Structure 1
Amino acid sequence: MTQLNETKLNELVGRVLGDLGGAVSVPLVRIGDALGLYKTLKEIGPAKADELADAAGCARRYVREWLSAQAASGYVHYEHGRFSLTPEQSFVFAEPDSPVHLIGGFDTAAAMVENQPKVESAFKTGRGVAWGDQAGCLFCAVSRLFRPGYVNALVKDWLPALDGVVATLKAGASVADVGCGHGLSTILMAQAFPASRFIGYDFHPASIAAATAHARSYGLTNLNFEVGRAQDFGGRDFDLITCFDCLHDMGDPKAAAVHIRKSLKEGGTWMIVEPMAGDTLEENINPVGRLYYSASTMICVPTSLAQEMGLALGAQAGENRLTEVIRSGGFSRVRRAAQTPLNMVLEAT
């Protein structure tokens, strides 16, 4: 029998216990968000448990237990019988426009658990699980997960990092946002550059319906949304085409690259935002890689395998592999224009 190393065993058990604590926190965090407990605590704290319950219109006994779990997780602060949110905790749980607002991650984790039976079956068959067949409102969760990065970086950092693109947008450009999902990225660009015209394409009709409703609520007139696939969407002579966190999900990203190249004006730019990743597994054995590999197993790879070709790049494809795919479309120049801890921004011309 192999001799156990007690120190290594205890370290592993400690890590697993920490992971289980995080896993069982998923429904609690979502309850706190849905019932406005974080928001209310930010407004009235420091507060006793019963004070928060009354202010939020919730049952006292449930809120006392919820707060105890949150304090044990380090998600809320507890001192002298009162609970509050530190500025850092508020940034993560109670401020939707914060760059590290992570509630969407908990929503995504819940959808992944709900989707387990479908993906588990796909492990045996090798088939995919189509984006439209994923469990729950995965589309809503993913949109919310990506929102903080887009709100804080897209207009301020990512577009300015591209050669000459902001000046073109200010003057009035034609832009296609391919794989736009619920349209957040498209809407942010349309708000920032009213002289330009934007169109969002996505192959998922329900997402296009949601994007159209969102745009209408903002009263924007310089954008519209259409159902369309990356490899054959309509429209030509775009100054800028964007793909946000979707190239690796496509069944045939090489065909998409070819079509995008043909759809750009001469001298046009393709901006590709993808998950941050190194080019080897060794480079990605870290907290970010762990998050993305897990999501990729449950969402990205099944989505790609459900489409034609099913190349299944995965969320941790890495810059070299992505560059190879992009160049296959006829692009001669690809560079990393910007990055965050969670994303890399590639520019192709």
Structure 2
Amino acid sequence: MTMPENDRGADALRPHAEDAFAEELKALAAADDRPRPARWNLSPWAVATYLLGGTLADGTVITPKYVGPRRIVEVAVTTLATDRALLLLGVPGTAKTWVSEHLAAAVSGDSTLLVQGTAGTPEEAIRYGWNYARLLAHGPGREALVPSPVMRAMAEGRVARVEELTRIPADVQDTLITVLSEKTLPIPELGQEVQAVRGFNLIATANDRDRGVNELSSALRRRFNTVVLPLPATADAEVDIVARRVDQMGRALDLPAAPEGLEEIRRVVTVFRELRDGITADGRTKVKSPSGTLSTAEAISVVTGGLALAAHFGDGVLRPSDVAAGILGAVVRDPAADRVVWQEYLEAVVRERDGWKDFYRACREVTA
């Protein structure tokens, strides 16, 4: 049985950024009259506008991809226009991967040159591998070489991405040193090298909760300009982020819009922020924090799951009973310790909060 070939991005469950926002990128390119670095599809100003959102002179609305301090995005974009690589650092759920993908899409028009870091990532994933059938049949040669995403980005003058850099073993990480310092990738088996052409750069992401797993060597860290992505500064900002992403994901999954869902989104965000911060929003009551991160990304997942429940097993309106189980799953990672933290929070905070009786009952029902 052969799988049908689909057009790029056609009917994809999660299109790449350059496909999902192709019209916005096209409009930006048409309106962009500022200087562009070599092989960049857009100027740095247009790249920042693509991420932060805005309205063009012709009335085209560019939707925000990242809600946060403008200076962070400007520093990240400027870094990519220099000879230094970019390291996006932050706790889980601070949109590191999201920002990385959209930066690559806006700069190069291609966010797919990706290396996913894990404990088992081999050196070949960053350098190159071999087609062993060709190698055995014809011996070493360029036709037998399988370029990594990093090698392809170097040769084509594009942006490569390395996700979860600190998950990769230290000796494999250090294969990037020559790439980032000398802008060349030696191929000793062939006595050749690949030199990076103008436009090449690299974006890496790292979770600062992984410190001590595979720390970057000082030599490698010097090759990066590090930008720390913070958690949303205010509850309103986080509610806005969650609402936007849930709306995008809901449309992709053909879920109906939740006209009264904003109240539940705000409730989920409030619960996550209070448990994360260890204190209620009014500053009056200290609460224990669970072992999980309770990130914005997890809030998006909880609300999206609740929206699916409301659509398929309810009346389409997002209610407390639709999000209660998702919140429980996000908060209680350690069945012993986290369950105590959650039950104390329910009784001391949620139970006493005006207008939260339905939410309290729904949470108690799934917790019991």
TM-score by length of 1: 0.28
Identify the structure with bigger relative contact order (alpha carbons < 8 Å, sequence gap 6+).
2
Q: Which one has the bigger helix percentage?
A: 1
